[in-house]
Amino acid sequence: MKVICTEKSQILATQVARALKTTVVDVRYSRFPDGELYLIAGEIDDEMVIIGSVVDSDSLVQLMLLVDACDRATNRLILPYMAYARQDKQFKAGEPVSSRVVARALSQGVSEVITVNIHEKGVLGSFTVPAQNLSLAKDIGSYIKTLRLNNPLILAPDEGAITFAEQVASVGGWEYDHLEKTRLNGVDVKMAPRQLSAKSRSVVIVDDIISTGGTIATAAGMLYRQGAKDVFTACVHGVFTGGAYTHLMATGIRDVVCSDTIERSCSRISAADQIANAIRKH
Ligand code: R5P
């Protein structure tokens, strides 16, 4: 078995290979003069683990090219982050179900797919090969433990993320809650924990994705006004679009961390062990 990866997942793939005591295939990536993506892979094994986060259209195409370059092997595809998963239904007439398009395209040439905290688990059913999802909730909990916070409050940004917050909190036996939005008038909205008070407490807001950071930045500002001592945030997928990281830091958030499903300099949580364990089990 060997590991091979796209440009966006080089560090994670190397760690997975290390955990599996195998090697990463050397791949040279470049572009044709017209901008088309090109790659040439080194020696392929009969059994390949292909790792590539889809963060944009180029990384999707590169991953498809990589799978084709491994077409003589039995391929397992690891999708640490899957862009387009949030468009998982037709919200308005005329829209595509983008998650279905990507899932079908990435099912070609692989025998199974493993995702990490996919935004909506229903998307797994759109792959035409068996697909399973891993969760880094416990790994985020272990990271929070290293912060040595006194009695932290783990907060989900909305009710939909409460199970995730519960799993994170279970690592340290911490209290958890979710933020609730109350419309005060036509303009103002208040965000506060639904049941617990943030006053004088360290709060950690946890989520699967931080994209624009808008929700968490607004929440952090309000939590400080409600007397929170410190606000931290941790997510699985650090998309950080439109200056989200600096926007969050500007609100006074003490620390913003993510995992390496999207490789960032603030990726302090790794999906490598979980991915390696899932591969070993199959
Ligand atoms: C939404 O359902 C997701 O779980 C995230 O809460 C959302 O994608 C975050 O978006 P943003 O960072 O743009 O507020």
Give one DSSP letter per residue of 219-277, joined into a string. Answer: HHHHHHHTT-SEEEEEEEEE--GGGHHHHHHHTT-SEEEEETTS--TTEEE-SHHHHHH
Summarize the confidence of residues 119-146 as an average pLDDT: 97
Query: Which region holds residue 196: left if phi is over 0, alpha if psi is between -120 and 50, else beta?
Result: beta
φ and ψ at residue 39, rounded to 5 degrees: -150, 155
Ligand 1 site, residue 230, Cβ cutoff 6 A = no
CA neighbours within 13 Å on the CB side: how many for 145? 13
Ligand 1: distance of its center to the CA of 15 in Å?
A: 28
Query: Which region holds residue 252: left if phi is over 0, alpha if psi is between -120 and 50, else beta?
Result: left
Specify the DSSP element, H or E, that contains 204: strand 202-210
Structure pTM?
0.95
pLDDT digits (tens, 9 = 90+) for 180-237: 988 888 777 788 899 999 999 999 999 999 999 998 999 999 999 999 999 999 999 9
Per the listing, tokens 């919200």 go with 91
Q: First CA to last CA across the chain, in angstroms?
A: 13
Give the nearest ligand 1 atom to 212 CA.
13
What separation in angstroms does the CA of 15 have from each of 11, 29, 54, 145, 274?
6, 20, 18, 22, 11
Q: Is 199 one of the catalytic residues?
A: no
Provide the pLDDT confidence category of residue 282 given band limits of 50, 70 and 90.
confident
Give the nearest ligand 1 atom to 208 CA.
4
